[in-house]
Structure 1
Amino acid sequence: MNKSTQMMCCTVLAVAAAVAPTFANASPAGDKKFLATAAQADQNEIALSKLAQQKASNPDVKAFAGKMVDEHTQMTETMKPFATSRGLTPPMGPDADHQKELDKLNGLNGADFDKEYMSQMVTDHTKALSAFTSEAKSSNDPKLKAAVIDGKTHVAAHKNMAYDLKKKL
């Protein structure tokens, strides 16, 4: 190898060594942020849906709410080992915005309750689907990525069910 080729190789290796930690740390931080967001979203859905199981007047809305409680509880359990391994403490209830939504829903009855709840479900699942789609593309952890892709399938189905049910109300 001539001297200029050796210098070029050394330069490329030095740049790669300097840049590698940046890329190595980007994905785990993104994974951790996603896991925190997903855990909170699950708690929000569970809280709103438990209320809907009690207050919804439409039997289809009640059935949807039951499905949301069951499936978001399962999603929480699926993601828990990933969150725990990254030092995350799981949320214990809805965030401030969803607490306000709960308060609003508590003041509604009948068709007004059903429409507001389903509207919130469309909004929440649209946001969640975006987060799952982004994480599925960016995660470098193969086990997490598989769980995210599975979760994305459920969230997409939830969004479609919510949208279809909202249109019927």
Structure 2
Amino acid sequence: MVAVAATLLDPQAARAEPGVPAPPSGLLSDRGRGDLSDADRDFATKVRLAGLWEIPAGEMAQERSDDPRIRSIGREIAAQHRVLDRFVRDAGKKLDIPLPDEPNSDQQGWLDEMANAEGTDFDKVYIDRLRAAHGKIFPAIATIRASTRNDTIRKLAQRTNQFVMTHMTLLESSGIVNFAALPTAPPPAAANGGTASTARVAPAANSETLSPLTGTSMLLIVVVALASVAGTAFTMRRLSQDPRRRYRRQQGRYFES
């Protein structure tokens, strides 16, 4: 626990991939200052709920799985969630946000599903349920981190983001994540508010939408075109002159001087 906490609390000690920076959480304030929105309160509740079912799920992984890798993943995720749970409880106390003490009905159902499975069946349920849950909260974290006005929630969101990315990577390292079962991302929105798949290309402008050329515009076009033709003709004429004639003229001027 001490090793896990030290790793997650100290940005310099974070086990970041070489060349990939670890977000410096130590630069964020945590004074409970700033307006608190309903979305902020809901986010803190979701972080607390995540720990309430993922900690016992990790404990079951250590007991019910026959795969050493799954047991290791369960042990590490449970340990990290205990640290994150302390963070969210501290935030809830500071901001007077009531937090739940039991998992919700869906989470309890997932725990019951794991309790009734063993061996490779348990491994599949454990990995798929946790990976899907982390995928759902991941965009919610980004929204809160980018929009909250409260410094304590901002720091909690940044810390939670680091935990969730770590957990997703650990779960995927099992090699049994069913990526095909994950929900697909919505199509990107087009500039007009529609989607890229349904956005229609604007028809070509007709004669009613095009403004006709004025007499002045036509005159300018003709002048530019004539000037271009004259310049080209002059250049070609100069280039076509016999270089020997130019040389004799230059020599004659030299001796005359």
* Shorter-chain TM band: 0.7 to 0.9
- DSSP 3-state at the match of 2:56: helix
- DSSP 3-state at the match of 2:176: helix
Higher-Rg structure is: 2
Residues in 2 aligned to 1:48 and 1:154: alpha-carbon distance in whole angstroms? 16
Deviation at residue 143 of structure 1 after TM alignment: 3.3
Partner residue in 2 for 1:17: none
Aligned pair 1:110/2:119, yes or no? yes
Matches within 5 A, 1:73-112: 73-112=82-121
Aligned pair 1:65/2:74, yes or no? yes
Partner residue in 1 for 2:129: 120
Q: TM-score, normalization: structure 1?
A: 0.77
* Cα distance change of structure 1 residues 33 and 98 upon mapping to structure 2, 3 Å threshold: same
Letter in structure 1 aligned against 2:78:
V
Residues in 2 aligned to 1:136 and 1:89: alpha-carbon distance in whole angstroms? 20
**Residue from 141, 147, 152 that aligns with 1:143:** 152
Partner residue in 1 for 2:39: 30
- DSSP 3-state at the match of 1:57: coil
Identity of aligned residues (%): 19
Runs of 4+ in 1 over 4 A off after TM superposition: none
Partner residue in 1 for 2:221: none
Q: Which runs of 5+ in 2 are unaligned?
A: 1-33, 179-257
Partner residue in 2 for 1:155: 164
Query: For 1:32-66, what per-residue CA distance to the aligned partner results, in whole angstroms no more than 9, with x for missing partners?
Result: 11101111112121121122121111111111111
**Residue from 133, 138, 141 that aligns with 2:142:** 133
Letter in structure 1 aligned against 2:145:
A
* Cα distance change of structure 1 residues 168 and 121 upon mapping to structure 2, 3 Å threshold: closer
Q: Which runs of 5+ in 1 are unaligned?
A: 1-23
CA RMSD of aligned residues (A): 2.0
* Cα distance change of structure 1 residues 166 and 97 upon mapping to structure 2, 3 Å threshold: farther
Residues in 2 aligned to 1:166 and 1:92: alpha-carbon distance in whole angstroms? 33
Residues in 2 aligned to 1:98 and 1:115: alpha-carbon distance in whole angstroms? 16
Deviation at residue 168 of structure 1 after TM alignment: 7.7
Higher helix share: 1
